[in-house]
Amino acid sequence: MNPYEREYLAWYHRDTHPGTRFDPRTLVECAQAQWTDEPQLAVAFARCTRAWDRNELYTYFNSPADRRTKHFAANLFLAHPTLGALVVDVMTDGSIGGIEYLDRVMGHPMDIGELRMWMLRSVCRDVGGLRCN
């Protein structure tokens, strides 16, 4: 089989790819420690046992077929001991859609506390200059 045929077959079977095995234990532990007010998100991470890498910056936890039916609800920040700062995509059904490796995106380690303050300042600025103290 030539390279063109291999590439075509990979594209053709992209929606039926079973994903790769994924161990969510450290993400579950991080979620339990950092999101104490949202215990259902740790449970959602525990269900993430298959992964589909989009590239080195993003990993999906929903299959290609499921991505067509699930809808985005929110982003949350999560600090991971080895992966660094993560942006977690939470879906409307409570599942975890995927994670973005923020340290890799930015090219340097990011601090979750600083990110939250930056987001808060951005929101305050966007509401028309209202005081945010």
**In which element (H, E) is residue 35 found?**
none
pLDDT for position 48 = 97
In angstroms, what is the C-alpha Rg of the chain? 17
pLDDT tens, position by position, 87-121: 999 999 999 999 999 999 989 888 887 877 777 77
- Using a 10 angstrom Cβ sphere, with 0-12 exposed, 13-18 middle and 19 or more buried, the burial of residue 48 is buried
pLDDT tens, position by position, 118-131: 777 766 665 555 55
pLDDT tens, position by position, 45-78: 999 999 999 899 999 999 888 888 899 999 999 9
How large is the average pLDDT for residues 11-16? 65
Contacts of 102 by beta carbon, 8 Å cutoff, 6+ apart = 77, 84, 85, 86, 87, 110, 115
pLDDT for position 64 = 84
Of 72, 71, 76, 70, the residue nearest 37 (C-alpha)? 76
Of 91, 120, 7, 100, the residue nearest 53 (C-alpha)? 100
